C-alpha cells in the first residue's frame, strides 16, 4: 500500500493542492502495481514562519526579496 507524504510551505490554493494530490496519485498508480484505493497521499502545509533555509524563514526571505525589488 503506497503512502506518499508531501510537505509544502503554506500558501497554495485548495485547487492547487487538489491538483497536486491528483497528479501524485496518478503517477503512483501508473508506476506501481497497486489498486487505486490503496494509494495514500498526504499533504502537510507548514507555516512560512516555521520553515527556514540557511537560518532565514520563508517569511523573512519573501520580505527581503520584496524590499530588494522595491529598491530597484
Q: Which residues does the annotation mark as catalytic?
A: 2
Interior/surface letters 9-39, b for 16+ CB within 10 angstroms, e for the rest: beeeeeeeeeeeeeebbeebeeeeeeeeeeb
Task: State CA 47 to chain mean position distance.
Answer: 11
Amino acid at each position: 500500500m503506497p503512502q506518499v507524504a508531501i510537505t509544502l510551505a503554506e500558501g497554495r490554493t485548495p485547487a492547487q493542492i487538489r491538483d497536486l494530490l491528483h497528479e501524485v496519485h496518478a503517477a503512483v498508480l501508473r508506476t506501481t502495481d497497486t489498486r487505486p484505493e490503496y494509494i495514500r497521499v498526504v499533504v502537510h502545509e507548514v507555516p512560512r514562519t516555521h520553515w527556514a533555509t540557511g537560518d532565514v524563514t520563508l517569511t523573512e526571505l519573501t520580505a527581503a526579496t520584496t524590499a530588494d525589488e522595491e529598491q530597484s
